[in-house]
Structure formats: structure tokens, C-alpha cells
Amino acid sequence: MTKQPVLVTLRAGIKTGLRLTWEMSKVIIPTYLIVSILDSMGIITSLATLFSPVMRFIGLSGEAAIALSLGYLLNPYAAIGMMLSLSLPIREMTILAMMLCIAHSLPLELMVNRKTGIKIGAFLPMRLGLSFLSALILHLCL
């Protein structure tokens, strides 16, 4: 009797896992390819040089600014694709992951918050501020 629910649950879990993998791959793979092309053209290096002074304050390289921007503006999966294509050190990935757990997909979240009545003037600075504060704390601790 108990085998049937286990098989149903297992089948549903595999189906959900494959669907989510497909959805994430549709963002991660193109991001990875685009970033690799931009890197080979020297564009990533130029952007990294530009953002390096600010990012160094929170323990990140200039390249990490691009991944952070993708996570803030698009979604965390785009940031993951960027992090993977740049082969960022684990320490930087940890700091970025914390920052993006606190603030991600901001345009979409701002739209949702506006519809629920949350004041964007307080929401956005709070999320970004906490994101950077967490990065600074991790930078000092790691």
C-alpha cells in the first residue's frame, strides 16, 4: 500500500525538478554565453575596471558588479550564469549570494510592492542598503 504514494511522490518530484531545471537553464545558459562573448571582446574587463573601487569596499572584484547588477535587475539565475562564466572565487560567490538573497529582481518586486501598497521610497533603499551591509559584514568576517 505505501509503495504507490512513494512512487507518485517520486514521479512528481522528478517532474518538478526537471521543469525547474529547464526554466533556470533558459536564463543561465544564454547569460553564460553572452558574458563569455563580452569577456572575449574585453568589455567585461573595462566594466570591471570601472566598478572595481566601489566593489573592493565590500570585498568583491569589479567583475562581480556585473553579476550583482544582473541579479538586481533581472533575476538571481542570470547572476549565477555570470558568476559561473567568470569563475569567481567561492568567497566572492558567497558575498554575492547573500546580497542577492536580500535584494533580487528589483523591478519586478517593485511592481508587486506598488500593487500591494508598500512605499517604494522606503522599500528600495532598505533592500539595497541591507544587501550592501550584509556584504560588508561578510567581507570583514570571511
Type and span of the H or E element at 87: none
- CB of 45 closer than 8 Å to CB of 66: no
Which pLDDT belongs to residue 97?
A: 96
- 2 φ/ψ angles, rounded to the nearest 5 degrees: -80, -15
- State in Å, rounded, how far the first CA of the chain is from the last one: 51
Q: Which of 25-34, 49-58, 84-93 has the lowest mean pLDDT?
A: 25-34
Q: What span, in angstroms and rounded, lies between the C-alpha atoms of 58 and 102? A: 15
Q: What span, in angstroms and rounded, lies between the C-alpha atoms of 16 and 22? A: 10
Residue 7 pLDDT greater than 60, yes or no: yes
Whole-number mean pLDDT of the chain?
A: 89
Residue 16 pLDDT greater than 60, yes or no: yes
Which pLDDT belongs to residue 35?
A: 78
Average pLDDT of span 53-60: 96
In the chain, where are the structural domains located? Answer: 28-141
Which pLDDT belongs to residue 96?
A: 97
Q: With DSSP H G I counted as helix, E B as strand and the rest as coil, what are the percentages for the chain, rounded to 5?
A: 85, 0, 15
As to burial, measured by CB atoms within 10 angstroms (0-12 exposed, 13-18 middle, 19+ buried), residue 64 is: buried
Q: What span, in angstroms and rounded, lies between the C-alpha atoms of 133 and 63? A: 19
